[in-house]
Chain A
């Protein structure tokens, strides 16, 4: 269980995240929605500790995340994998090496620096790639792939971290509708099949409604809605998005899960 308690992050005078308190039970797929600049990305970066909060605390079970340093902090980051809008792969390295980056916390530093991966780690990485139909491209340079393919590699990297939690920061914002669906289906599968908690920032309201168990709406750094997708009425949505409401509710970027209901059909990692 992830617990945020009065978390604040200021940049100068501006409060990007302004007193957010939130409980996320294990295994949920939470969609964080809101317009650009509402503080969604900052919130996820605080949880991963890519940036440090100005005030407030974050706990995961009994561990105070906001107090971690050094090795313990790196261990936490490995436990909460992050997926980015711009994929953040090392473009000049091949796909397999990029996925191996997710194993770094399970490998000694020296063997990692020399790229001496064990057979077992390689097998884990390849099987993760295979789950997203990317195994055939393992030897290609990451920057030769399309956006959708890169995001699938990034998801494979997140998965081999064996995380308890996956934070996805606008994972579909740079993708076309078909890849949007592939990526969202992948996140859904990870959540339902492996029971990994997923917290996902989304701009498109319809995608959020279709995939998430729970929606958290943010505006000006505060939480203004928290509940099941069906409770998010058009009135609330309009409040959340203001004038942009029409745009986010019927965009082409919307994707729906296959057959409405998810069916596990996956080999184990």
Chain B
């Protein structure tokens, strides 16, 4: 095990000496981006640090909306595909194969690649971001949904089929009641992930706060970098906390009857 680890480090060009010499530079970058805050003019310094707070918040809202719309659209697509990809609901091996490969494709191509392609096609703005996130989310959630669906109790499904229900009705009444809370929980988790993802997508011009962050980094506006990072981190914390709250609420509803 140890040998393998060392070997893979060697092949992957993990250079400890480089890491050692690079660390101080990493630390000094953090030092550089720290704002100059003096105790005698604290308020003025603070407002200078966050000089563009309104503009950034507006951009952050863009990012949040990109993540939200992308998650919603992706979850809907994943919802449709997951049933087709489930071995217990879809008898036709061909349909199942197609659905699974489609989900894999959506999931394995990185969002940023889709974003670059869509920026090329549709130009700068939130649309490429939404599309990129929706596609990736469809793949990731569709896979998780399918796993949930494959674990449902099949007795109600059989009961539905035996009384003459069609495919849609069987899923609506035999499967969805069993899986809905899990689906919502996974979607909320994915939304959280997508807020971070949407920030990065902004780097390539797919809308939101990311564009502002990357230009601040490139142009060495050190204080701006730290200000924007702080805002993003605070937002992610907030969303983390809110979705966690919601998910627990959901789960306790579930077990409570």
User: B160 to chain A: which residues have CB within 8 Å?
Assistant: 90, 101
User: B156 to chain A: which residues have CB within 8 Å?
Assistant: 88-91
A interface footprint on B172-193 (CB within 8 Å = 1, 0 otherwise):
1110011000000000000000
The docked-state distance in angstroms from the alpha carbon of A84 to that of B156 is 10
A87-123 CB contacts (< 8 Å) to partner B: 87-93, 97, 101-102, 104-105, 109, 112-113
User: 8 additional contacts, CB 8 Å, given A84-B155, A91-B153, A109-B166?
Assistant: A74-B166, A78-B164, A82-B163, A90-B173, A90-B174, A105-B165, A141-B257, A157-B163
User: A78 to chain B: which residues have CB within 8 Å?
Assistant: 163-164
Q: Does A75 contact B (CB under 8 A)?
A: yes
**A84 touching B159 in the complex, CB below 8 Å, given contacts A92-B177, A97-B173, A104-B169:** yes
Q: Does A144 contact B (CB under 8 A)?
A: yes
Pair A88/B178 contact, Cβ less than 8 Å: no
User: B174 to chain A: which residues have CB within 8 Å?
Assistant: 90
Interface residues of chain B, those whose CB is within 8 Å of chain A, are: 153, 155-156, 158-166, 168-169, 172-174, 177-178, 257
User: B165 to chain A: which residues have CB within 8 Å?
Assistant: 74, 101, 104-105
Pair B163/A81 contact, Cβ less than 8 Å: yes
User: B168 to chain A: which residues have CB within 8 Å?
Assistant: 109, 113
Pair A90/B177 contact, Cβ less than 8 Å: yes
Q: Does A28 contact B (CB under 8 A)?
A: no
* 30 A-B pairs (CB sep. < 8 Å): A48-B162, A50-B158, A76-B164, A77-B162, A82-B162, A82-B163, A84-B159, A86-B155, A88-B155, A88-B156, A88-B158, A88-B159, A89-B156, A90-B156, A90-B173, A90-B177, A91-B153, A92-B177, A97-B173, A101-B160, A101-B163, A101-B173, A102-B163, A104-B166, A105-B163, A109-B166, A109-B168, A113-B169, A158-B163, A161-B163
User: B159 to chain A: which residues have CB within 8 Å?
Assistant: 82, 84, 87-90, 101, 154, 157
User: A76 to chain B: which residues have CB within 8 Å?
Assistant: 164
The docked-state distance in angstroms from the alpha carbon of A235 to that of B78 is 60
Pair B177/A93 contact, Cβ less than 8 Å: yes
Pair A50/B173 contact, Cβ less than 8 Å: no
Interface size for A (C-beta < 8 A) is 34
User: A93 to chain B: which residues have CB within 8 Å?
Assistant: 173, 177
Report how many A-B pairs have Cβ atoms within 8 Å: 80
Contact of B164 among A97, A105, A141, A144 (CB under 8 A): A105
Shortest 5 CB-CB contacts between residues of A and residues of B: A88-B159, A78-B164, A77-B164, A82-B162, A92-B177
Query: Which of A71, A77, A84, A92 has most chain B Cβ within 10 Å?
Result: A92
The docked-state distance in angstroms from the alpha carbon of A109 to that of B178 is 20
User: B164 to chain A: which residues have CB within 8 Å?
Assistant: 74-79, 104-105, 161
Looking at the assembled complex, report how far the CB atom of A82 sits from the nearest CB atom of chain B, in whole angstroms.
Answer: 4
User: B161 to chain A: which residues have CB within 8 Å?
Assistant: 50, 77
User: A158 to chain B: which residues have CB within 8 Å?
Assistant: 163
User: B173 to chain A: which residues have CB within 8 Å?
Assistant: 90, 93, 97, 101
The docked-state distance in angstroms from the alpha carbon of A102 to that of B153 is 20
The docked-state distance in angstroms from the alpha carbon of A112 to that of B164 is 13
Looking at the assembled complex, report how far the CB atom of B38 sits from the nearest CB atom of chain A, in whole angstroms.
Answer: 61
Looking at the assembled complex, report how far the CB atom of A100 sits from the nearest CB atom of chain B, in whole angstroms.
Answer: 9
User: A79 to chain B: which residues have CB within 8 Å?
Assistant: 164
Looking at the assembled complex, report how far the CB atom of A191 sits from the nearest CB atom of chain B, in whole angstroms.
Answer: 19
Looking at the assembled complex, report how far the CB atom of B91 sits from the nearest CB atom of chain A, in whole angstroms.
Answer: 11
**A77 touching B163 in the complex, CB below 8 Å, given contacts A93-B173, A113-B169, A113-B172:** yes
CB-CB nearest in chain A for B172 = A113
A196-235 CB contacts (< 8 Å) to partner B: none
Query: Which of B161, B164, B166 has most chain A Cβ within 10 Å?
Result: B164
User: A154 to chain B: which residues have CB within 8 Å?
Assistant: 159
B interface footprint on A172-204 (CB within 8 Å = 1, 0 otherwise):
000000000000000000000000000000000
